[in-house]
Amino acid sequence: MHMEESKAFFEQFLSYDKLEGLVIICIHIALIYILLMSLVFMERRMFKKIIERRDKQSIDKTNLVFLRNVVIYTTYTIGILSMINQIPGMQQLSKTVLTGAGILAAAVGFGSQQAISNIVSGIFMVLFKPFRVGDHINLGGDYNGTVVDISLRHTTIKNSENRMIIVPNSVLNNQSIINSSIVNATTCAFINVGIGYSSDVNRAMTLIQEEALKHPLLIDQRTKAEKDKGAPQVVVRVIEWADSSVNLRAWAWAANSGDAFLLKCDLLHSIKERFDKENIEIPFPYTNVVLKKE
């Protein structure tokens, strides 16, 4: 039955009475395509101007980005369906294929479940905002970066290498996320340094503080009460007696996670050079092997 209906469709399409009718169909499809691309172009341009205006005003643009994607996807869907409807018999053929092919229907149904899950997850993320466009998030491991887009299906994250990480919304909705920007973007960098047991601990702590205070990305997070009490801007403490070193940690604050990473890298460099000049030992692990004679 399905083969007969398909055959009838192609016969109807190929034996079109007049060549003018076929040309008219092609013109209609072309006009719809041009209209579709023009609408999408105008929608992208309109949303781009609105988003740029909000970006200058430092206003959250997450809802606008998501709405832009919804509008554009809807326009594409309507346009494609309109072009298909211009072909005689295509609508009936598509109904026949979708209702008659059980395997295809099951596959489409499974794909639809995944698609619906991503769409619902995207709506939840826009409503409850565990992160926003422009936030720096960490998904664990090397998967961290800045959120640049939230679409109906996935979220796009740009990492420090300028590569785009594409994550399905349903995955993000079920995963723990570290958001460095959701409340306060200021970030504390832990500067961990090990010194030898024979080194002067107090001198080493002073050198770390001096190097940190010279860095331009360091910010002062002390409260007024802490300043009145004379609390140091950079706190350095002994955190562990390890097997071959005394481990120190400095708490250095930066304006955001990106600055904190640069601050940490620069301080590890400058502290190493300063320790070399001041004869502060930075030990490496070693093992004593004792050989016993029989």
Q: Which residues of 220-254 are buried (b: 16+ CB within 10 A; e: fewer)?
A: eeeeeeeeeeeeebbebeeeeeeeebbebebbbbb
Q: What is the pLDDT of residues 162-209, one digit of tens each?
A: 888 888 888 887 878 888 777 777 888 999 999 999 899 999 999 999
Reported pTM: 0.56
Domain boundaries, the chain: 2-100, 136-179, 187-277
CATH of the domain spanning 187-277: 3.30.70.100
Instruction: State residue 226 phi and psi, 5-degree precision.
Output: -65, -40
Closest CA to 181 of 224, 141, 138, 135: 135
Mean pLDDT of the chain: 79
- Geometric angle at alpha carbon 38, from 37 and 39, rounded to 5°: 90
- Per-residue pLDDT, averaged over 4-25, amounts to 58
Q: For domain 136-179, which architecture applies?
A: Roll (2.30)
Q: What is the pLDDT of residues 91-126, one digit of tens each?
A: 555 455 445 444 444 444 545 566 677 777 777 777
- Per-residue pLDDT, averaged over 123-143, amounts to 78
